[in-house]
């Protein structure tokens, strides 16, 4: 996720859990957007990840309501987190949506190509996303299409832009964007196409074709174009808090699922806030 943001011209600030509310308010004021990345963190409303996520979610909604543009992106677990944050209910996420090590073409919903996200893509990329398996899925949970359609809190807040089907026949939402806020989510992993080459058996089908690379670049470019609309300014005197000051460990050899990891605190990181170069 760090390199995904970096390829579009952004910088990354890791956010820690279990901090005073003033900490999150300060971080919010200094950054241009937030990314909830994929992972394996609990996202029920009483989990610390969601408790802190709710603070940031509410800050972003309030800011946008007041004309202070501030985007959010959620990937995989982060995508699911968006649904939980808006509904306040962890049960909206099904625990039986098995799509692991699976690259899929998107199934667009009617009108999806007119969405803010997809209308920023070239017609050739939109065609590739529809016809080629270039979106990588690595999840056992997800937002079922039937849950989205039957839940007013979801279908009145988010537009479903695409859906997919698991090997055992479960239809799940794969791309969505908020109707009235610059909030976006993909159940699939756009960041892995360009930067992950894991030898782990569960990650062996990450697509690296030219069109898959373009999909990664286009999603990152779109999100950073949204972040550039934010007027927040990061204080350069605090550059040592950016993730680039952290120790990087190469983990690509053997059975690890990532090429490298950042070690920036003994505490668990929550998410990635985005700062755009100006």
Residue with tokens 């090590």: 101
User: Whole-angstrom Cα distance, residue 172 to residue 141?
Assistant: 9
In tens, the pLDDT along 190-224 reads 999 998 887 777 888 999 999 999 999 999 999 99
Chain-centre distance of CA 9, in angstroms? 17
Residue 176 structure tokens: 């969505």
* pLDDT value of residue 277: 39
User: Whole-angstrom Cα distance, residue 219 to residue 189?
Assistant: 10
The percent helix, strand, coil of the chain (3-state, each to 5) is 40, 25, 40
Residues 6+ apart with CB under 8 A from 98: 140, 166, 167, 168, 170
Rounded to 5 degrees, what are φ and ψ at 78? -65, -35
* pLDDT value of residue 35: 96
* pLDDT value of residue 155: 97
Element (H, E) at 161: strand 158-165
Q: Alpha carbon of 167 to those of 117, 124, 171, 193: distances in Å?
A: 27, 27, 10, 21
Q: pLDDT > 70: what percent of the chain?
A: 95
The CA-to-CA distance between both ends of the chain, in Å, stands at 21
Rounded to 5 degrees, what are φ and ψ at 107? -105, 105
* pLDDT value of residue 269: 47
Residue with tokens 């919903």: 109
CA atoms within a 13 Å half-sphere pointing along the CA-CB vector of 269: 23
User: Whole-angstrom Cα distance, residue 218 to residue 211?
Assistant: 10
Predicted TM-score (pTM) of the model is: 0.92
User: Whole-angstrom Cα distance, residue 40 to residue 42?
Assistant: 7
Q: Alpha carbon of 261 to those of 41, 188, 213, 252, 264: distances in Å?
A: 17, 20, 21, 9, 10
Task: Give me the count of residues in the chain.
Answer: 278
- The set of catalytic residues is 76, 189
User: Whole-angstrom Cα distance, residue 190 to residue 201?
Assistant: 19
Q: Alpha carbon of 206 to those of 135, 140, 250, 254: distances in Å?
A: 8, 17, 19, 17
* pLDDT value of residue 278: 35
Extract the residue ranges of the chain whose pLDDT is less than 50.
267-270, 274, 276-278
């Amino acid at each position: 996720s760090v390199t995904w943001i970096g390829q579009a011209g952004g910088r990354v600030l890791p956010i820690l859990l279990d901090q005073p509310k003033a900490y999150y308010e300060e971080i919010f004021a200094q950054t241009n957007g937030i990314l909830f990345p994929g992972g394996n963190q609990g996202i029920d409303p009483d989990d610390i990840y969601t408790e802190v996520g709710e603070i940031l979610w509410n800050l972003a909604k309030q800011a946008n309501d007041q004309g202070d543009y501030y985007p959010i992106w959620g990937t995989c677990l982060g995508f699911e987190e968006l649904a939980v944050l808006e509904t306040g209910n962890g049960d909206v996420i099904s625990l039986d949506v098995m799509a692991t090590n699976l690259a899929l073409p998107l199934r667009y919903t009617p009108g999806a190509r007119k969405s803010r996200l997809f209308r920023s893509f070239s017609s050739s990329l939109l065609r590739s996303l529809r016809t080629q398996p270039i979106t990588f899925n690595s999840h056992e949970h997800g937002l079922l299409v039937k849950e989205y359609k039957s839940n007013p809190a979801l279908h009145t807040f988010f537009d479903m832009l695409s859906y997919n089907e698991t090997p055992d026949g479960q239809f799940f939402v794969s791309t969505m964007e908020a109707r009235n806020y610059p909030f976006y989510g993909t159940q699939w992993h756009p960041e892995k196409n360009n930067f992950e080459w894991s030898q782990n058996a569960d990650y062996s089908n990450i697509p690296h074709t030219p069109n898959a690379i373009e999909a990664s670049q286009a999603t990152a470019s779109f999100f950073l174009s949204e972040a550039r609309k934010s007027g927040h300014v990061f204080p350069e005197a605090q550059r040592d808090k950016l993730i680039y000051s952290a120790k990087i460990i190469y983990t690509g050899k053997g059975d690890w699922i990532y090429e490298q990891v950042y070690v920036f605190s003994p505490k668990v990181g929550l998410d990635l806030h985005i700062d755009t170069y100006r």
